[in-house]
Amino acid sequence: MIVFDPAQLSSALERLDACGKSYGVLLDGDRIYRGVVTRDALASGSFKAESDQLDGAAAIQADAPLSGLLVRVAESPWPVPVTDRHNRYLGAISKSALLETLGRAG
Q: Which domains does the chain have, with CATH numbers?
A: 2-105 (3.10.580.10)
Q: What pLDDT, on a 0 to 100 scale, did the predictor assign at position 92?
A: 93
Pairing of strands 33-38, 23-27: antiparallel
d(CA 7, CA 102) in angstroms, rounded, equals 38
d(CA 45, CA 39) in angstroms, rounded, equals 11
Give the torsion through C-alpha atoms of 57, 77, 43, 2, to 10 deg. 80
> pLDDT (tens digit, 9 = 90+) per residue, 16-55?
889 898 888 888 888 888 888 888 887 877 666 555 455 5
Mean per-residue pLDDT of the chain: 82
CA-nearest of 75, 38, 82 to 59 is 82
Q: What is the pTM of this model?
A: 0.77
